[in-house]
Structure 1
Amino acid sequence: MHEDVKKNMKLQWRPRDAMEYLLNKASGIMWAATSKAIRVELHKPFKKNIVMPQMLNMELQDLWATLDFALSFILFRSFMPLFLPRQMEMYTHACGMSNLTRLSEFILLGLSSRPEDQKPLFALFLSIYLVTLLGNLLIILAIHSDPQLQNPMYFFLSILSFADICYTTVIVPKMLVNFLSEKKTISYAGCLAQMYFFLVFGNMDSYLLAAMAIDHYVAICNPFHYVTVMNHRRCVLLLAFSAAFSCLHSLLHVLLVHQLTFCASNVIHHFFCDVNPVLKLSCSSTFMNEVVAMTEGLASVMAPFVCIIISYLRILFAVFKIPSVAGKRKAFSTCSSHLTVVTLFYGSISYVYFHPLSSYTVKDRIATVNYTVLTSMLNPFIYSLRNKDMKRGLEKLLNKVNYQRL
């Protein structure tokens, strides 16, 4: 580091400096311990009287050194601005980057920039949002008020409805405000918060759809052990895993966005802070973000999708073995609602995200509306109109409300 920076860092020693120093040392110790543990694991297979070729050993050491440096750099650039802002400022000054200031706000262009479109779009999306809230709330209340709907499938459906409410609430209210406002801005912190919760509830949706596919598989292919396999404890564990992994996945991507530098335009060509449109504004390299998105991001999206595909392939083989036509029809009707939602959700996601960042266009904005807003609105109709148990539960709920009013 530059000598002037080193001198400036030694000028004052306050309690805050002591805390920063301890945090820095603690993170260094944790990283060293983790590195040592991974190195030990890497060398374990070669300790059982097996001699590692010298060339292979050198290549592994070079590979580990490269990974060690890359991960250390990511952690340094991601966490230092959060815990050590003063030192990060000195670091950027020493590296000649002090003229690249962080933006305080972004401008969301929305779906249309024409003034005459704003009020019709406001009316349309307000109607969609209210229908989404009402429909999903009715699903949740119907499931929790009817004892006959207290089973794993409807447990996951109620959580999916709650996630859909949160998912649309992260995006639509700010969108509605921007339709009627001339200043369509969002703060830097607000943008990152919106991106984080959008990713959290979007990933929760995909993992809940996978959990529902597993539930259908067990119910059709192993009905006699359904109660023991899909017990309440396992359902809660599946839900906890979905929530925990979604939070960690979202945190990783938001931290990587946080370490980027935005020094040119602050206009986001979208109606919310999605990852790809924000990355297009960065004047620093987004290579690491794109690599993580195409590896960890792709794996996190494809893992539940593969689980759904495998579950339905096994269901399909099991259904073909059912001798009666009525039995086959009942099995297919059980899965049809879920398959419709999966097709809508994953079809639009694959269209938007599985192509290069440079080709992100207006069509992607329209496709994003499909899985962020329309799918959440259609879910209650898909699950209630094609499900006799849900219809009965909704009728009981409405009758109970009418009786209490009388």
Structure 2
Amino acid sequence: MQSYRKLARNNKSKSAMSSVNASFSQNISIVHPENFFIIGLTGIQHSGYYYIFLFFTYFISVIGNSVVLLIIALERNLHSAKYIGVFNLALADIGETSALIPNMMKNFLFDSQYISYNGCMANMFFVFLFSSMQSFTLVVMAYDRLIAICLPLRYHAIVNNTSMILMTLAIWAFNTFVVALMVSLINRLSFCESNMIQSYFCDHGPVFRLACNDNSMNKIMAYVISVLYILAPMVVIVFSYLAIFLALIKITTWEGRLKALKTCVSHLLLVGIFFLPVCCTYIAQVLLYLTPNARIISTSFSYAVPPVLNPIIYVLNTAEIKDIIKKMIKNKSAPIRENISK
């Protein structure tokens, strides 16, 4: 009988201690550091050359995408549903590189690798927002090509300026909500040990792994982000092009097939440039052991290169944009020739 009483007392004391611990843990305030320290490319030999490469990629990206934006905005002939997607992609390219590379250059030039907590959250938000917009815009552009080739007679009824603008606004709103949710989940974490981020920007994974309290929700969110912005868009684009190729088979003449396929070349190149580096980095991380420095270089390369190549691909593969640029060059060179002749 006494043993039962002792057991009951022990159980009561254990339950009391657990309730005290639970209430204590609830009352603990969340600890946010004043600054984070972004390790970036420190410790990598000859990293200065890589920073020079990043500076030129940023310069070319901003110039190239700004030219595309101006041409589409000023030329009325390009105010169509197809070029709304191109405009949105160029805007996302400028936003992503501007959120990433200037901060890296500041760290390199001024040897200032500290970033405030709020600045880190803002950096994370904008990098992921513009990157997600790139991914979803490629899906929208695949949808445009799908309708144009599979349902050509109904294309203008289904895909028009109004529907494309509404679709673009919807993905902006959706991505803003998802990325804001991801960042808000970081704010519930407590950083009481290290503030050194093993990345070149305030990357989601390296940041939440620094937390000293439960970060299971952040891990789930990381998987959701990966599926939502990498795996799902790839699957949708692959199935879209399977439907496109089936439609091309039904076209009787080779000339008709090639003409329809040419309209997809630019988009296919953009898809490959965006998704292949990300997939290669992920596969290398799974199959091979990548050191933190190797992961940083590979991911930064996959972020920096697509915004540089996207405007070049569209200018070289789009007849309308090439013709407009040629006219602009001729119009500028004409007064110079007249002055020389005089």
TM-score bracket, normalised by the shorter chain, equals 0.7 to 0.9
Q: How far off its partner does 1:300 sit?
A: 4.6
Kept after mapping to 2: 8 A contact 1:276/1:360: no
Kept after mapping to 2: 8 A contact 1:138/1:394: no
The aligned counterpart of 2:12 is none
Counterpart selection for 1:226 from 139, 151, 155: 155
The aligned counterpart of 1:106 is 36
Q: How far off its partner does 1:115 sit?
A: 7.8
TM-score under structure 2 length normalisation = 0.83
Give the letter aligned to residue 299 of structure 2: T
CA distance in 1, matches of 2:328, 2:276: 33
Q: Cα deviations across residues 186-209 of structure 1 (Å, max 9, x unaligned)?
A: 111000001011111111111111
Q: How far off its partner does 1:92 sit?
A: 11
Q: How far off its partner does 1:184 sit?
A: 1.1
**Cα pair distance change 1:278/1:400, threshold 3 Å:** farther
Counterpart selection for 2:312 from 381, 387, 391: 381
Kept after mapping to 1: 8 A contact 2:30/2:188: no
User: Are 1:198 and 2:127 matched, yes or no?
Assistant: yes
CA distance in 1, matches of 2:175, 2:194: 30
Worse-superposed segment, 121-130 or 168-177: 121-130
Q: How far off its partner does 1:352 sit?
A: 4.6
User: Are 1:266 and 2:195 matched, yes or no?
Assistant: yes
| Counterparts of residues 313-352 of structure 1 (less than 5 Å) | 313-352=242-281
CA distance in 2, matches of 1:96, 1:187: 26
- The DSSP-based 3-state class of the residue aligned with 1:177 is helix
| Counterparts of residues 18-57 of structure 1 (less than 5 Å) | none
Give the letter aligned to residue 60 of structure 2: V
- The DSSP-based 3-state class of the residue aligned with 1:259 is coil
CA distance in 1, matches of 2:27, 2:271: 46
Q: How far off its partner does 1:325 sit?
A: 1.6
The aligned counterpart of 1:181 is 110
Q: Cα deviations across residues 223-268 of structure 1 (Å, max 9, x unaligned)?
A: 1211111111101111011101110110111011111111112111
The aligned counterpart of 2:231 is 302
The aligned counterpart of 1:285 is 214
Give the letter aligned to residue 272 of structure 1: F
Kept after mapping to 2: 8 A contact 1:100/1:263: no
CA distance in 2, matches of 1:292, 1:102: 20
Counterpart selection for 1:372 from 303, 324, 337: 303
Q: How far off its partner does 1:171 sit?
A: 0.7
Kept after mapping to 2: 8 A contact 1:111/1:365: yes
**Tell me, which stretches of 5 or more residues in structure 1 are unaligned?**
1-90
**Tell me, which stretches of 5 or more residues in structure 2 are unaligned?**
1-20
Kept after mapping to 2: 8 A contact 1:135/1:377: yes
Kept after mapping to 1: 8 A contact 2:41/2:47: no
Sequence identity of aligned pairs in percent? 30
Give the letter aligned to residue 317 of structure 1: L
Kept after mapping to 1: 8 A contact 2:195/2:210: yes
- The DSSP-based 3-state class of the residue aligned with 2:93 is helix
* RMSD of aligned Cα (Å): 2.7
The aligned counterpart of 1:149 is 78
Give the letter aligned to residue 185 of structure 2: L
Q: How far off its partner does 1:279 sit?
A: 2.0
Q: How far off its partner does 1:111 sit?
A: 2.4
- The DSSP-based 3-state class of the residue aligned with 1:186 is strand
**Cα pair distance change 1:94/1:309, threshold 3 Å:** same
Q: Cα deviations across residues 108-127 of structure 1 (Å, max 9, x unaligned)?
A: 12224358533x33322221
Instruction: Write out the 4+ residue segments of structure 1 that deviate beyond 6 Å after TM superposition.
Output: none
The aligned counterpart of 1:361 is 292
TM-score under structure 1 length normalisation = 0.71
CA distance in 2, matches of 1:128, 1:404: 33
Give the letter aligned to residue 39 of structure 2: L
CA distance in 2, matches of 1:238, 1:232: 10
Higher relative contact order (CA 8 A, sep 6+): 2
Aligned pair count?
314
**Cα pair distance change 1:105/1:115, threshold 3 Å:** farther
User: Are 1:241 and 2:170 matched, yes or no?
Assistant: yes
- The DSSP-based 3-state class of the residue aligned with 2:141 is helix
CA distance in 1, matches of 2:309, 2:53: 15
- The DSSP-based 3-state class of the residue aligned with 1:95 is helix
CA distance in 2, matches of 1:99, 1:229: 53
Q: How far off its partner does 1:131 sit?
A: 0.4
Kept after mapping to 2: 8 A contact 1:277/1:360: no
**Cα pair distance change 1:182/1:402, threshold 3 Å:** same
- The DSSP-based 3-state class of the residue aligned with 2:40 is coil
Q: How far off its partner does 1:211 sit?
A: 0.6
Q: Cα deviations across residues 74-95 of structure 1 (Å, max 9, x unaligned)?
A: xxxxxxxxxxxxxxxxx99943
Kept after mapping to 1: 8 A contact 2:138/2:271: yes
CA distance in 2, matches of 1:227, 1:250: 33
Counterpart selection for 2:54 from 121, 125, 133: 125
Q: Cα deviations across residues 359-396 of structure 1 (Å, max 9, x unaligned)?
A: 78333322222332110011011111122222112223
**Cα pair distance change 1:273/1:189, threshold 3 Å:** same
Q: How far off its partner does 1:399 sit?
A: 3.7
